[in-house]
Amino acid sequence: MTSRVLLDDRLLIEELLVGLRRPRKNVELFTTGYWYYRACRVAVASAGGKLSGPFNDVPHAQQELAVMSLLELRDDIGLVGARSTVPIMAELARVHPKLNVLNLEAAATARVIEATVWLSDLGAAGILPSILDHERLRWKTIVIA
């Protein structure tokens, strides 16, 4: 049986740069448009923040290739369209009026594709886990070594 996993921006960067340690069989990877945008923005801006940390670990000569790996999302990482998620985001915003677009999109995408949301340490420390729990959506913290 195939399971679906929704990667946050930090885990998406890790997967694209070095690969996450996970069972490869029967796992479909997805991310959201907002998380993908944040990963790409960090890749091209190299702002030096918490999200861009993995780029600092890549040798300078390979950084351009690392950036390109983000700007051209691999075919095996799904990206769900707004046509499916926006109506659910609007519904969730009614129930959780203070939730930002990033978290609304993550919860809506998880619901649409029936995925387990994988959150990095930083993502798991935010508001999203409580919303996922409230909506009875599965999530898991993934610690990057």
DSSP string, the chain: --EEEEE-HHHHHHHHHT---S--TTEEEEE-HHHHHHHHHHHHH---STTTHHHHTS-HHHHHHHHHHHHS--TTEEE--HHHHHHHHHHHHHHSTT--HHHHHHHHHHHHHT-EEEE-HHHHTSSHHHHHHHTT--EEE----
pLDDT at 41: 85
In the predicted structure, residue 65 carries a pLDDT above the cut 80: no
| pLDDT score at 21 | 76
Percent of the chain past pLDDT 90, that is, above it, reads 61
Higher local confidence (pLDDT), 37 or 53: 37
CA–CA dist 44, 52 (Å, integer)? 10
pLDDT-derived band at 46 (thresholds 50, 70, 90) equals: low
| Confidence (pLDDT) at 44 | 76
Residue 105 has pLDDT above 60, yes or no: yes
pLDDT value, residue 43: 77
Q: What does the pLDDT read at residue 51?
A: 56
State the average pLDDT over residues 86-111. 97
Across the chain, mean pLDDT equals 87
* pTM score of the predicted model: 0.87
Mean pLDDT, range 105-134, rounded to an integer: 96
User: Given this model, what pLDDT does residue 17 score?
Assistant: 80
What is the sign of the dihedral through the CA atoms of 73, 144, 8 and 28? positive
Identify the pLDDT of residue 35: 95
pLDDT for 24 equals 61
Confirm if 6 and 34 have CB atoms less than 8 A apart.
no
Domain architecture of the chain: domains with CATH: 3-141 (3.40.50.1010)
